Amino acid sequence: MRSLLFVPADSPRKLEKSLTSGADAVIIDLEDAIAAGQKAAARANAAAFIKEASAVPSHPPLFVRVNGLESGLTDTDLDAVLPSKPSAVVLPKGEGGASIIHLDAKITAREAMFGIDDGATRIFAFAIESATALFLAGTYAGSSQRLIGLTWGSEDLSYEFGGMSSRDKDGGFFEPYRFARTLCLAASAASKVAAIDTVYADFRNPEGLRREAAEAARQGFTGKMAIHPAQIAIINEVFAPSPEKIAWARAVSDAFAAAPDKGAVAVNGVMYDRPHLLHAEQLLKQAT
């Protein structure tokens, strides 16, 4: 997953446009984008849209962000949308592996109730949106086989810290938020799931988005969330492996395939060991 586009569940027009946005996944939002009085209508709209979209050839995977476990609304959200079989449930305000285990149990019960294959519904989680979550980042590993990716949210974290903003005057993150970003990356690596960077809210600033996405890609993130369709092309371009990287990955992979008993191989005069092979295989997987 390179790009994940947020779309409010109460906007049929935006939901329809999301199918042709080019996003690798669409997140139908039942949480922050929906006012309290509109939750019920948004649930019904999300469920109907997923059912209709399933008939569209080559539609992107459709995720649903439910309200957090602490909200008291998660069960109602799941009861409404899971029968339509979304690809994944997005958990906001995750607080460690225990929250993933909790959500997994809720999904497992409903898959049985609604005749959905066990394990078919995946989980994508906001690993760090609270101060507590910072201390629990290392507990996501092994929490659930449903877990496919982790991300983080700077705005919720800023609110909890009592800060005026998560960014400096140049648009870069202040130190507490860089730390949260690093912990999200580490939690994803430890859990062996996709690391997805947070949104870039200034959607009218493509160069700022490109700069931040490129920085995230260099650090090890495999994708970034988006709040506007105009951001998708840039995100997809930045996180797609370059032809040079793909050529390097193929060369390393071929060298190890030709020498399966060796722990290190030489490619163009440079020695590479098994961790390089794992990275090469990951790049080739992304390319396809």
Please indicate, yes or no, whether the overall pTM of this predicted structure exceeds 0.85: yes
**pLDDT value for 243:** 82
Tell me the domains of the chain and their CATH numbers. Answer: 3-239 (3.20.20.60), 243-287 (no CATH)
Task: Decide: 236 and 2 in contact? Cβ < 8 Å.
Answer: yes
Q: Which tens digits make up the pLDDT trace of 79-128?
A: 999 999 999 999 999 999 999 999 999 999 999 999 999 999 999 999 99
Nearest C-alpha neighbor of 31 from the set 83, 67, 63: 67
Mean pLDDT by 10 residues, the chain (288 residues): 96 95 97 95 97 89 97 98 98 97 98 97 97 97 98 93 91 95 98 97 96 96 97 96 85 92 90 87 79
Q: Give the Cα separation of 31 and 6 in Å (integer).
A: 11
Q: Which tens digits make up the pLDDT trace of 194-217?
A: 999 999 999 999 999 999 999 999
Chain centroid, CA 16 distance in Å: 21
Can you read off the two tokens belonging to residue 69?
């476990």
Four-residue CA torsion sign, 29, 31, 36, 39: positive
Residue showing tokens 């939002």: 29
Can you read off the two tokens belonging to residue 163?
């800060």
Q: Give the Cα separation of 168 and 171 in Å (integer).
A: 5
Nearest C-alpha neighbor of 110 from the set 131, 85, 129, 143: 85
